[in-house]
């Protein structure tokens, strides 16, 4: 099951900090992060990748982004 972290409405660096805090406790190795700025999208993806996670996909709808992260094996 994929866990969801809703960071919409928060300014950077808060979405990055919250994502980094959540990663170690994610069960099942899948996390979806919702953000509403391009900067947050890029920064969250970069931060997660630095911790051994992969950006599997990004969905964009009406200026909001869903980042689908998976833990590298």
Residue 73 above 90 pLDDT?
no
Sign of CA dihedral 44, 45, 48, 49: negative
Expressed as residue numbers, the domain containing 8 is 3-71
pLDDT value, residue 1: 81
Domain with residue 17: its CATH number is 3.30.110.40
Instruction: Please write the tens of the pLDDT for every residue from 27-57.
Output: 999 999 999 999 999 999 999 999 999 999 9
How far apart CA 8 and CA 71 sit, in angstroms, is: 22
When pLDDT is cut at 50, 70 and 90, the band that residue 72 belongs to is: confident
Distances (CA, A) of 12 to 15, 18, 27: 6, 10, 25
Domains of the chain: total: 1
């Amino acid at each position: 099951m994929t866990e969801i972290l809703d960071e919409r409405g928060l300014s950077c660096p808060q979405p990055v900090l919250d994502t980094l805090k959540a990663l170690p406790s994610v069960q099942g190795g899948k996390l979806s992060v919702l953000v509403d700025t391009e900067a947050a999208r890029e920064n969250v993806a970069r931060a997660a990748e630095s911790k051994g996670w992969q950006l599997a996909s990004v969905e964009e709808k009406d200026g909001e982004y869903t980042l689908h992260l998976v833990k590298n094996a």
